[in-house]
Chain A
Amino acid sequence: NAGVMQNPRHLVRRRGQEARLRCSPMKGHSHVYWYRQLPEEGLKFMVYLQKENIIDESGMPKERFSAEFPKEGPSILRIQQVVRGDSAAYFCASSPPATGTTGELFFGEGSRLTVL
């Protein structure tokens, strides 16, 4: 049973380009969370999605960032016009429908974005 799959694992972009990060949740999981992690800082909540719905995006910057979790296919975190401050590790986590937001999250290995 494959775990949470994130790709790419490493992504390098120049300022002004777009970054797309993908997350395939564990089989049977319908809840997806995105977190950002900077060195010496914890995991910062960005957005919580269920299939075709954004449940909570209170942690996501209002501009340049968007997330989706379509009926078919992976969840995508999109960052437009990247800036150096967007350089970070972005983690995706999933949970099964039964647990919802109880905290039993299964994390991927992360996507490390470097903006030059």
Chain B
Amino acid sequence: QKEVEQDPGPLSVPEGAIVSLNCTYSNSAFQYFMWYRQYSRKGPELLMYTYSSGNKEDGRFTAQVDKSSKYISLFIRDSQPSDSATYLCAMGGGDKIIFGKGTRLHILP
């Protein structure tokens, strides 16, 4: 079993829809949970960072962590064409940060 599982997509949704992106993990040692956004031919940029189970909201973005189920989610409300990118979940603990494969998201105008 891979440490981090993420559906690669692509995921296409109409503008204005709510987007749900998810990752599962197997390593209970992970303590930090992140979502990064990567535009084509660019480096990833940190979107959301959470430390504990529960929800964290930042504008149109909400990150959710369920440690008991080893499941994390990112919700994007009122999606915009500019949200079209690859979204990578990441988890850290100890000296290592492990990334999911990324989900390609297309917001259709």
When distances are taken between beta carbons in the complex, the residues of chain B under 8 Å from A44 are 99
Report which B residues bind A (CB closer than 8 A): 4, 6, 8, 32-34, 36, 42-46, 49, 88, 90-102
Report which A residues bind B (CB closer than 8 A): 4, 33, 35, 40-45, 48, 55-56, 58, 91, 93, 101-110
- A41–B101 contact, CB under 8 A? yes
CA distance A106 to B93 in the complex (A): 17
B99 CB contact (under 8 Å) in A4, A43, A55, A58: A43
When distances are taken between beta carbons in the complex, the residues of chain A under 8 Å from B8 are 40
Majority secondary structure, B binding face: strand
A43 CB contact (under 8 Å) in B33, B42, B44, B91: B44
When distances are taken between beta carbons in the complex, the residues of chain B under 8 Å from A48 are 95-96
CA distance A35 to B92 in the complex (A): 14
- In angstroms, how far is the closest chain B Cβ from the Cβ of A67? 14
Check A42/B6 contact, CB under 8 A, given A103-B34, A109-B42: yes
